[in-house]
Structure 1
């Protein structure tokens, strides 16, 4: 008669538990936000000062209504220069922001969020809870999470 198994009953306490790394663990909570009536000059100055490439646009209730980016500002500047037009007096964020904004859930796994970045070609995702802006996840935040995981679990 042969031996069926050399392994005894496994101790469940030795099994590894996979810890979820969530968007809320790495999202930026202190954001530079813009209002729809802010001028593009104001936006450009803040983007340069804070070394960011864009930011969420919110109303007075802190509800997300759009995103303004360097690209949006550059489009405005280049169109004016190309057509040799004078400065637009109505060069407000509300006129140039993108209103079709993809958001991300704070309870999403950070690596699922990484896939969303790859598939959407976005640089940032606002995080919304109960209709209010609570944070933002950037591609750099995903990289920070990857480095931390590498330091803890990857060989």
Structure 2
């Protein structure tokens, strides 16, 4: 069986909230993503990662684009890079991209579907909805006290 996971992460990969802010943001997420729609029960999780961790979109990833030259970057290059760092974490997100040799952050690559890197994550497993619009992301950002990104994974 496959799962969909809606993750809310800080825009700054190293940032972590205080427990009170995390709980407040989870309360907002629970309100925005109802737990039961008559068929599927959504499960919620809060995770503090010890190290910066990739929060990817799983099978939803279709394309990666360089922010410097706007050319496509092979998903294989990215996957190989992730394999090298999955156990050690991402102490440094700086990379030299293969398309134009620019030095960029992995967090700034343009992912289709969105991906990110974080030390903190709010998750709704099998949410009964799709993407959160800007006004709902703003509610989560206000509760956490930082700008946020969303990642919708299919695993």
Give your verdict on TM over 0.5.
no
More helix by share: 1
TM-score by length of 2: 0.22
Highest relative contact order (Cα 8 Å, sep 6+), 1 or 2? 2
Structure whose alpha-carbon radius of gyration is higher: 1
More strand by share: 2
